[in-house]
Amino acid sequence: MRGDVAALVAAAGLGTRLGPGAPKALRELGGASLLEHAVSRLAQAPSIGLIVVAAPAEHVDSLRARLSADVPVDVVAGGATRQASVAAALAAVPSSYGFVVVHDAARAFAPPELVERIADALRAGHPAVIPVLDVVDTVKQVDETGHVVATLDRSVLRSVQTPQGFHRDVLETGHSRADITDATDDAGLAERIGVRVFCVPGAETALKITRPADLDRAELLLRTLKSDDGTFRSDDGSARRTLQT
């Protein structure tokens, strides 16, 4: 099935941990912004029929002119928080879309295959779906004085990525709850309203770009993914279309 999923991209954050410069989603890497990379790879997923970007208000018009893909792309003004930005993007999605994925522009190289895993799980009946990776480091619980109080069992812990997928009504209900303001991701909203969240395997390439060192890692990744003819490689090594800007 093609085109039955709408993708929301949160791209309004300043990204202060990256240091001075443009908002994080607009930082360039390999001749294109992180947002353009993210949109391009989302558009390569057969299930995606629409992409809505929540961007800084002052950049909405320029991004509407600049962003292009093989599916329609809309740009709306984001809010003061990530939660507000996702809600603004969701409000712009036509009611015909029953499935929605929420993505961060900071994970610019999440592969199309990851989107498809999430879409398949949504169609199978799971109301909320997240991509996860095994935790490989030892994890300690620390108190306010800096002392270790427990060593956590990493076999039951997972590192969570985006895009995260939802039946539309789940996401709408979560964002309608004015009393929930501390959720760090949309799956957290789903959990708070009593929805069970299903996990699918994540992707190593869906790394989050937060600090300057992450940009260096992402540049190396981009060189690995990009072939000599300008196309990009997916997780399975097959060629993908050239990034459109």
Residue boundaries of the structural domains of the chain:
5-240
The predicted pLDDT at position 94 comes to: 96
How many other CB atoms sit within 10 Å of the CB of residue 173? 16
Give the confidence band of 19 by pLDDT, cuts at 50, 70, 90.
Answer: low
The predicted pLDDT at position 2 comes to: 66
Return the percentage of the chain with pLDDT > 90, whole number.
69
State how far the Cα of 85 lies from the Cα of 190, in Å rounded to an integer.
Answer: 17
Quote the mean pLDDT of the chain: 88
28 vs 108, higher pLDDT? 108
> Average pLDDT for residues 62-88, to the nearest whole number?
92
State how far the Cα of 89 lies from the Cα of 120, in Å rounded to an integer.
Answer: 22
State how far the Cα of 25 lies from the Cα of 56, in Å rounded to an integer.
Answer: 10
Selected from 3.30.300.30, 3.40.50.1000, 3.40.50.620, 3.90.550.10, the CATH number assigned to the domain covering 5-240 reads 3.90.550.10
> Average pLDDT for residues 30-57, to the nearest whole number?
94
β-pairing, 164-167 with 99-104? antiparallel
The predicted pLDDT at position 179 comes to: 87
The predicted pLDDT at position 18 comes to: 67
Phi-psi region of 172 (alpha: psi -120 to 50; beta: other; left: phi over 0): alpha
DSSP 101-154: EEEETTSTT--HHHHHHHHHHHHTT-SEEEEEEE--S--EEE-TTS-EEEE--G
235 vs 133, higher pLDDT? 133
- Whether residue 124 is predicted with pLDDT greater than 60 in this model: the reply is yes
The predicted pLDDT at position 46 comes to: 96
The predicted pLDDT at position 239 comes to: 39
Give the confidence band of 30 by pLDDT, cuts at 50, 70, 90.
Answer: confident
pTM as predicted: 0.88
pLDDT in tens, 191-239: 999 999 999 999 999 999 988 888 888 888 888 876 533 444 444 444 3
The predicted pLDDT at position 207 comes to: 92
The predicted pLDDT at position 213 comes to: 84
163 vs 20, higher pLDDT? 163
